[in-house]
Structure 1
Amino acid sequence: MVDTVPRPCGSRALLFEVGSAAEVAAIVSAVRAAELPEVTELVPAARTVLVEVASGASLDRVRDAARSADPAAGRAGTGTLHTIPVTYDGADLELVARTAGISPEEVVNLHSGAEYGVDFCGFAPGFGYLSGLPEPLRQPRLESSRTAVPAGSVGIADVYSCVYPRRSPGGWRLIGHTDVVLFDPGAESPSLFTPGDRVRFEVR
């Protein structure tokens, strides 16, 4: 179970502060599984989950649902699975391989062979933090960020992988690119990724 006491945020929300991405995922999964009609917002981040309910609703059932959260159960796997075709030609591919002590081909095989979970979205609209990066690829951000990273760039940093939804500054190590549109403001669901979804990268 998740050992945390939620903090009230006004009269309509609770903030759960935890110690790992697995605990965040467990709370999100437990609250979603409870199918509480009073929940209006569920916002996961790296180490927190904010749950908001409708005006006048009690927060008690949210607390009860969160108590059942079990990080050891792993991901429920109920989110949408996205397959993203990638051309592995990133500017930092050689750097990542050199840092890991492996070949660029092994970097590609490791990155494309894993399944990732969308832990949370942030930084820019449609930007998902994708956990599940294989251990040899877990490397720090660049010492100096780029002023402009092209949309569709696939990167890695720390324990995460990502796809840049639009041109923006960034310091992630770039290993490839995709033509998949990650964020379309005119679409009914503008962001392709939703927390809880799963992602696989396919060599193009």
Structure 2
Amino acid sequence: MLHGETELRLSHEGTGAILLDGAGAVFDDSVQKKVWRLARDLKFMHGVLETVPGMNNLMVVFDPLMLDAYVVEMAMRDLWEASARGDSTGRIVDVPVFYGGADGVDLEDFASAKSLSVDEVTQRHTAPLYSVAAVGAMPGFVYLSGLDPTLAAPRLANPRQGVPKGSVIIGGGQTGIMPITAPSGWHILGRTPLDLFDPNRARPALFAPGDQIRFVAERQI
């Protein structure tokens, strides 16, 4: 049980993977820290091929010829209970953002829909210290927790076919950064010149789970 309320759920995904669901419908930062720690600990288990943290969940991929699924499941449960402290050792990185104008084509309409000024939206967006909960969906894409709930907004009814690389975006209760130009229904508030993914780097993805991001406004409308 988690916090005495939420039951840890494990589901088998074929013969060589187990999915851990650590929380209910509401994202929990303390659960995410336990997910990160469990992902790190299980990497050292003989026969585990990969651990993939998600938003309050974790996929563990293993070789069923080397490890029995029951052994993996018991290890996951035991380590989960032992990882209550869930410490984070990630970096804190300032991310420069050019808000509005051609870089943030939705900013004015977004602010108007919220009955806020552009300055207020920018200030609320740059105020939190965000945590990289998970990396996925596309190479280098960061799922960030910590968005001011007043900035949460439904995704666009008609997604754009090509949201530019570097776009700083909001969709639902999350904010993120586009690592490549790709379709998306999230609102575009600005752009960062940082390159989130480069396959030629020693560490291709700029951010890892557990890192923290602080958006820094370089320009406003």
Q: TM-score, normalised by structure 2?
A: 0.81
When Rg is computed on C-alpha atoms for both structures, the one with the higher figure is 2
Alignment partner of 1:85 out of 96, 101, 107: 96
1:155-166 mapped onto 2 (5 Å cutoff)? 155-166=169-180
CA contact (8 A) 2:33 2:88 kept: no
1:56 alignment partner in structure 2: 66
* Equivalent pairs, count: 201
Deviation at 1:45, TM superposition (A): 2.3
CA change 1:10–1:144 in 2 (3 A) is closer
Alignment partner of 1:43 out of 22, 44, 52: 52
- Secondary structure of 2:108's counterpart equals helix
CA contact (8 A) 1:24 1:45 kept: no
- Secondary structure of 1:64's counterpart equals helix
- Secondary structure of 2:99's counterpart equals coil
CA contact (8 A) 2:43 2:51 kept: no
Give me the whole-angstrom Cα distance separating, in 2, the residues matched to 1:76 and 1:155: 28
Deviation at 1:26, TM superposition (A): 3.9
Give me the whole-angstrom Cα distance separating, in 2, the residues matched to 1:25 and 1:9: 21
1:125-144 mapped onto 2 (5 Å cutoff)? 125-144=139-158
CA contact (8 A) 1:126 1:183 kept: yes
1:15 alignment partner in structure 2: 19
Deviation at 1:15, TM superposition (A): 1.1
Give me the whole-angstrom Cα distance separating, in 1, the residues matched to 2:180 and 2:37: 32
User: Which runs of no fewer than 5 residues in structure 2 stay unpaired?
Assistant: none
Please list the CA deviations of residues 1-27 of structure 1 after superposition, one character each: whole Å capped at 9, or x if unmatched. 251231234555421123143265143
Give the residue type in structure 1 aligned to 2:205: S
CA change 1:36–1:154 in 2 (3 A) is closer
Give me the whole-angstrom Cα distance separating, in 2, the residues matched to 1:51 and 1:166: 27
- Secondary structure of 2:38's counterpart equals helix
Alignment partner of 2:185 out of 155, 171, 184: 171
CA contact (8 A) 1:24 1:44 kept: no
Deviation at 1:127, TM superposition (A): 0.9
Give the residue type in structure 1 aligned to 2:214: R
CA-based RMSD of the aligned residues comes to 2.3
Aligned identity (percent) is 33
More off after superposition, 18-27 vs 128-137: 18-27
Please list the CA deviations of residues 31-69 of structure 1 after superposition, one character each: whole Å capped at 9, or x if unmatched. 157476115422122353112346624423222011345
CA contact (8 A) 1:128 1:163 kept: yes
Give me the whole-angstrom Cα distance separating, in 2, the residues matched to 1:64 and 1:168: 40
Give me the whole-angstrom Cα distance separating, in 1, the residues matched to 2:35 and 2:60: 9
Alignment partner of 2:34 out of 27, 35, 38: 27
Deviation at 1:102, TM superposition (A): 1.1
Deviation at 1:186, TM superposition (A): 0.9
CA contact (8 A) 1:153 1:176 kept: yes
User: Which runs of no fewer than 5 residues in structure 1 stay unpaired?
Assistant: none
